[in-house]
A and B are shown apart, each in its own frame.
Chain A
Amino acid sequence: MSRLLAKLLFNSILLLSLISLAACGENSDETNTSDSGEISGKVTMWTASLSGEPFDSYFSDIEKGFEKKYSDVDVIIEDIPQEQMEQKVLTSLTGSEVPDLVNLNPLYVANIAGQGGLLDLTDLIDEKTKDSFVEGPFKAGINDDSLYALPWYLTTTVTWYNNEHFEQAGIEELPTTLDGIYETAKKISDKTGKASYYPVINDGNVIMQKMVSLANGDPIVKDGKAVFEDNQAILKYFETMQKMYEEGLIPQEAAEGSIQSGQELYMGGNISFLEGGVTFLGPVESGAPNIYKTSKSGPPLVSEDAPINVDVMNFAIPSKTKNQEAAVELLKYITNAENQLEFAKIAGTVLPSTKDSLDDSYFKEAGDSPKAQGMMQASKALERAEVLIPPTENSADVREATKNIFVQNLQGELSSEEALSQLAEEWTKSFEETGEDVTF
């Protein structure tokens, strides 16, 4: 035992010495801009949840392509799990090892930019580049009139349905009205004996988007005050969801409301249709191959002229970047039409955000697979897609209130009028607290 302890002691001391050595040997070859004006040095880019093939090869090509264009630049690309990206970027900003380009969603952009963590790109990106993007997604990178991010890939909402169930119930078209959703769900449930429709809630954001979509042009928040209480379409939506839940057309799991629960129910054949992003079918393809084969996609379940939400993934530059010039060039490079089109092709389920890449024939002839069909639906929907909810400081509070009150409405704990009244009150209170006079 004592020999073992002596060894233990020795090893511990050795390791401590190694710590000191590591401290002395800290890498100091940071970035520079060459005297000739050519960009040079190291530039680090963080992507969000894009590891493994086909993405590794794609980013390897991006790296090589950029290094060929700028021979003095060393590009380093690392992948970070998406859910921890914001935390990791914020933590890195407290130290000296900050990435030069990061892949963020608009909420993360708003939060990090709000804390002074992102570089203002307004004057660093030329007008031609700015004009190359689709307008709605481009606006997702603007906060307080300053541009903090450029859009990269997009997803929009489409409706996914189990065609076998639809055929059994004799339904040929997806509904576009609330009465239509009810009738469709009822017919299918009568045939299958199961619930059929699943309203995705997530953290409340999907319901908020739905409300804007249903309002169809009328603002639901005006100068920081909720004004949707008297909106008949939103009231009807709340009433219809409550009725469908009560009648068992919506499963009880809907009270939890996550897209993952919806996915599990869909994979098990326990629901027949729901609205989701273009990437919805990924887990279905691997987890329920038979359901995947019978899956079809269609436009969102709202009227054909209603706006629908677009989810944007951006690239932004942290304010503490040590190689601003290279970061800006890499940002323009990774988001240019050619590279975006290539990314959309290898990913298979997302859309690019540049006008030129969207014009490519690929989006009209993507193939017959359920995934490819979904992507084509999404590209059609992009014509009326925009970021429906602007990122705000109180975003988390408003979403939470929306989820809680919507679930109470769903379960019949509140009448739909009461639910809307309470929700409006909560939203207005929250906007007053943060002093945001937004309109959407």
Chain B
Amino acid sequence: MQVNQLSKRIWIYALMLLVAVTTVGPFLLTLFISLKSPGEGIYDGFLPANPSLINFVEAFERANFGSYFINTIIVSAIAIPLNLFFCSLAAYPLARMEFKGRSFALVLIISTMMVPFQLFMAPLFQLAGELGLHNTHVGLVIMQVSTAFGIFLMRQAFLRIPKELEESAYLDGANKFQVWYKVALPLVKPTLITLAIFTFMETWGDYLWPLINTTDSSMYTLSIGLAQLSQNFDGANLKLVSAGSILTVIPTLLIFIWLQKYFISGVTEGSVKG
């Protein structure tokens, strides 16, 4: 019995190790390549012989990372509160209020997730132009201001709140808006944080829309800077691209590590009740 248990445990650990290697391995490889000195070949060995930060400095300068970093922070700072606000506002009636066409509205919202971005990119570009949103930070985030995924995630979270809590608030004289932000929202805090992380990741890594919507390179974001590095005129310098990738991914990693306990509970919370 004990032997069986041990062998089962070995298999589980082997499987976990395999998953860890396949997910973390490419990241580590990128990190090691980025640390290789100019005289060292990227295929000369797995670990850098003389670790150097020079690629990070050069990538930072070559891809104009300074200003692109600030742009990306600004657009993320705009996108997150707006997405949380609009998604939770749209999701609450879909979860809690009875009105004609509620199911249809939900299906309609969810079905927009199936439409590829390229299909509505041109009309969106025109619309953004007419609203004067080209080359503006706000224009860069219109894709993230309210997302179907966010509405769905928040609706699932609102469905889990016991109705009694809201009913007692109504008895105390609260109106629907007050119940939404004083009772319901505090109870779905983990889901809000989860949505904030998702929005951050989407905005931080968004590439095509920021590129299409900007005709002024001073408005570019980090992902465009990274593309400029990797699509360099005479081929990519892989050490610089690796360093640029690491620089780009660090904030996402830090935020995820900081908020991961909420993230996991937020995801599972949304998935319990359909």
Q: Is A288 an interface residue (CB 8 A)?
A: yes
Q: Is B181 an interface residue (CB 8 A)?
A: yes
Task: Select the stretch in A84-92, A302-310, A408-416 that faces chain B.
Answer: A84-92
Residues of A within 8 A of B259 (CB): none
Q: Which of A82-117 contact B (CB under 8 A)?
A: 82-84, 87-88, 90-92, 94-97, 99
Contact B39 A286 (CB under 8 A): no
Residue of B nearest to A278 (CB): B234
Given contacts A81-B211, A99-B215, contact A291 B41 (CB under 8 A): yes
Residues of B within 8 A of A282 (CB): 232-237
Quick one: CB contact mask for A257-269 with B, threshold 8 Å, 1 for yes? Answer: 0000001100111
- How many Å lie between the Cα of A84 and that of B136 in the bound state? 20
Which of A25, A55, A78 is the most central at the interface, judged by chain B CB atoms within 10 Å of its CB? A78
Min CB distance B75 to A, Å, is 11
Contact A15 B185 (CB under 8 A): no
Q: Which of B103-142 contact A (CB under 8 A)?
A: 121-123, 125-126, 129, 131-134, 136, 138-139
Residues of B within 8 A of A96 (CB): 129
**Size range of the interface on B?**
35 or more
Q: Is B268 an interface residue (CB 8 A)?
A: no
Min CB distance B64 to A, Å, is 8
Contact A268 B231 (CB under 8 A): no
Q: Which of A84, A267, A347 is B211 in contact with, Cβ under 8 Å?
A: A84
Q: Is A361 an interface residue (CB 8 A)?
A: no
Quick one: CB contact mask for B66-101 with A, threshold 8 Å, 1 for yes? Answer: 000000000000100110111000000000000000
Q: Which of A19, A87, A348 is B212 in contact with, Cβ under 8 Å?
A: A87
Residues of B within 8 A of A1 (CB): 185-186, 189
- How many Å lie between the Cα of A19 and that of B131 in the bound state? 8
Q: Which of B64, B125, B139, B224 is A95 in contact with, Cβ under 8 Å?
A: B125
Q: What residues make up the interface of B, taking CB atoms closer than 8 Å to A?
A: 38-44, 62-64, 78, 81-82, 84-86, 121-123, 125-126, 129, 131-134, 136, 138-139, 181-182, 185-186, 189, 208, 211-212, 215-217, 224, 227-228, 231-240
What are 27 pairs between A and B in contact, CB < 8 Å?
A1-B186, A15-B81, A22-B133, A22-B136, A25-B132, A26-B132, A49-B232, A49-B233, A51-B63, A52-B62, A52-B63, A53-B62, A55-B233, A79-B217, A87-B208, A91-B121, A95-B126, A279-B234, A279-B235, A282-B233, A283-B234, A286-B38, A286-B238, A287-B42, A287-B238, A289-B40, A347-B234
Q: What residues make up the interface of A, taking CB atoms closer than 8 Å to B?
A: 1-2, 5, 8-9, 11-12, 15, 18-19, 22-26, 44, 49-53, 55, 78-84, 87-88, 90-92, 94-97, 99, 263-264, 267-269, 279-283, 286-291, 347-349
